[in-house]
Amino acid sequence: MKLSSDGGASGHILNRPVDRAAEELSGSARRLLLTSLLLCLLATSGCHSLRARRQTRELSDARQSSLRGAEKLQQHKLDEAELLFTDALRSSSADERAQAGMAEVLWQRDESDKAIEHMTQAAVISGGNPDYLVRLGEMNLQQGNLKQALAQADAALEGQRSHAGAWALRGKVLQQRGELEAAMSCYHRTLNEQPHAPQVQVALAEIYRDLGRPQRALATLDRMTDGKTGEQISPQAWMLKGQALADLGEASAANHCLRNAALCCRDEDTSTIISIARLQMEAGDIAEARTCLCRAFQHDPYNPTALQLQAMLDRGPAGAPVGGAAGGLLGTVPARLVGFERAPPAN
């Protein structure tokens, strides 16, 4: 028992250095592991830092190109603008201004689907910027995507309840859907936020006329054109004034407005010129209608709508224009109308 006890004691004593060595080895391993983990964390942090600095630099370069592209776009230099926006997106696709700018270039090139894709990216990257949402909604509206346009107007209003453009977009969608009273409410909200909004005022006047309220339509247009010269009034406003006056039985004043609409209209705006010609034909101002059609044929000789209208004029009785000679304005302008004179020919 003693020997056994002594032997056991001796064995226990001999094991102590081994335990200490194991402990020291275990401690070294832990220190080595911790050091390795620390180095890995530092390396990872360094990579993230470098990547973040690189992304910041790329985004800064992209935004510089975007600003220059926006300037070229305002100058209607589409080719140069497209190159700059392409360069910006190559530097960083996370630049919402480059996405929006490229969308506008593509829209003007009639590449509507690609334009909508880029404007969608601009809206997403910006975190739902109301201006981008409204522009995206306007694009969808022009493509006939009423549901998407309405959703984008509502999303913009959620972000900024007082956004005049979002209320106007919502009004346009509802007007196209035939919800005229709701559209009027939206247009009035627009005018509360932005009193001078000619397109909205014209749209509001259209609704009043559609609802059989030509006097209210005319009052809306008169407020819009108050203090403006004839050249400052859009052809659409002149046309609508003419229609409202015709509804009220004031044929001479109506014809005056239609002639002013023709004078304000750009020659290349063929569709508007044809619309004016149709209204003039319906009002009996045949000579002026023929004059407008001649302008339309100069830019689009085979326009089917113009050809159809020409055939209708040829079948109907020809006559002198109502209230004056063909091609000129009426001599007497009602006091509540804002008229203007044809500019004298250049010497």
Q: pLDDT value at position 323?
A: 34
Domain ranges of the chain: 225-333
Question: Two tokens at 8?
Answer: 């056991």
pLDDT of residue 337: 39
- Coil, strand or helix at 252: helix
Which DSSP category does 249 fall into?
T
User: What does pTM read for this prediction?
Assistant: 0.73
Please give the DSSP secondary-structure letter assigned to residue 319: -
Read off the pLDDT band of 346 (50, 70, 90): very low
Query: Long-range contact list for 66-72, CB < 8 A, 24+ apart?
Result: 66/95, 66/97, 66/98, 66/101, 67/97, 69/98, 69/101, 70/97, 70/101
57, 92 contact by CB (below 8 A): no
126 φ, ψ to 5°? -75, -5
Average pLDDT over residues 178-197: 96
CA gap 210, 203 in Å, rounded: 11
Helix 270-282 vs helix 251-264: angle between axes, to the nearest 10 degrees?
A: 160
On the question of pLDDT at 225 being above 50, the answer is yes
Contacts of 326 (CB under 8 A, 6+ apart): 287, 288, 290, 291, 320
CATH topology of domain 225-333: 1.25.40
First CA to last CA distance, the chain: 139
Q: Residue 269, Cβ neighbours under 10 Å: how many?
A: 16
**H or E stretch covering 48:** helix 2-74
Nearest to 70 by CA among 56, 86, 84: 84
The amino acid that residue 294 corresponds to is C
| Mean pLDDT, all residues of the chain | 83
Which of 54-63, 86-95, 186-195 shows the lowest mean pLDDT across its residues? Answer: 54-63
Per the model's pLDDT, the better-predicted residue between 332 and 205 turns out to be 205
What is the C-alpha separation between 89 and 58, in angstroms, rounded? 10
Higher pLDDT, 51 or 342: 51
- Compute the distance between CA of residue 309 and CA of residue 280 in angstroms, rounded to an integer: 11
pLDDT (tens digit per residue) in 140-165: 999 999 999 999 999 999 999 999 99
Q: What is the DSSP letter of 334?
A: -
Q: Look at the alpha carbons of 128, 117, 62, 89 in this order and tell me if their dihedral is positive or negative.
A: positive
- Six-digit token pair at 118? 């880029």
Provide the CB-side half-sphere exposure for 80 (13 A, CA).
Answer: 11
Report percent pLDDT > 90 for the chain.
Answer: 67
Token pair, residue 64, equals 């510089």
Q: What percent of the chain has pLDDT over 70?
A: 75
More confident residue, 9 or 327: 9
Instruction: Provide the 3-class DSSP secondary structure of residue 200.
Output: helix
H helix count then E strand count, the chain: 15, 0
> pLDDT confidence of 333, banded at 50, 70, 90?
very low
CA angle in degrees (0–180, nearest 5) for 130-132-136: 115
